[in-house]
Amino acid sequence: MNPERLVVTLQDGVKRITFNAPERRNAVDPEMIEQLRGIVEETSKDASRVVVLAGAGEAFCAGADVKGMLGRDVGSLDVTEHLRRLTNPTIRALREMPKPVIARLHGAAVGLGCNYALACDIRIASTTATLGQVFSKIGLIPDGGSTYFLPRLIGYARAFEMMATGELLKAEQALAMGLVNRVVPPDQLDAVVDEWAARLSQGPTLALAGIKKALFFGETHTLAEALDSEAVTQATCIRSQDFREGVQAFVEKRRPAFQGR
């Protein structure tokens, strides 16, 4: 019996989605890609307040399972339909999800695995992590949204270099370039991820969702449009119970207890 390739848990508002194919460094096959899409889309609407995307074993995710393609008639594969139906909706759902998503990175986070991480909001990496756009090494262009994310994070020149050469970045290099938020020793990775997850799960859910929405909107709109979008979203936040609780906690000099409504 095959093990569960995606392990999902929910505790204290934190939903953990773990790639679970360690024997192939969590490289994802079509079935895993389809299952992940369903899980992520469901997570966008469930009661969780924070999401952690992680990998079992010695890696985060080594991208698509290229070895699994051997012997298949890839020439007859409608890759455009596959990306539009499975990969692209997952990337968009991660980015547009109204709750923070943390990528817990260790070992290989390359190809599509790297791009799942880029679609997250916070990337916390072990010193063992390596990130890379390895598509060109097998004659492909990057997919999974990296042509959108990378130039905005590190600029065109560095993005082109990563994609054209397929070279891997060590965690400290990725930190210096702004690709990850934190780099920690392997034995501290879980503690730091848990700390961030707890902190965000206790935060003002509506405001955090509004921050994600505003940042995503601002990437592709003018200043005037971003200002107007902020004004609309702020109206939702100011009518919330979380806002009233935040003000009351400020006056009483205590920690707010946000309820996400």
Confidence of residue 1 (pLDDT cuts 50, 70, 90): very low
239 in the same domain as 210: yes
Q: What is the CATH number of the domain that holds 25?
A: 3.90.226.10
Confidence of residue 248 (pLDDT cuts 50, 70, 90): confident
120 in the same domain as 212: no
- pLDDT tens digits for range 2-60: 579 999 999 999 999 999 999 999 999 999 999 999 999 999 999 999 999 999 999 99
Is residue 131 one of the residues assigned to a domain? Answer: yes
211 in the same domain as 188: no
230 in the same domain as 140: no
Given a cut of 60, is residue 184 above it in pLDDT? Answer: yes
- pLDDT tens digits for range 65-122: 877 666 566 666 788 998 999 999 999 999 999 999 999 999 999 999 999 999 999 9
Q: Half-sphere exposure of residue 47, counting CA atoms within 13 Å on the CB side?
A: 6
Q: Half-sphere exposure of residue 204, counting CA atoms within 13 Å on the CB side?
A: 21
- pLDDT tens digits for range 170-182: 999 999 999 999 9
Look at the chain and report how many structural domains it folds into.
2
Query: Residue 219 is part of which domain span?
Result: 205-252
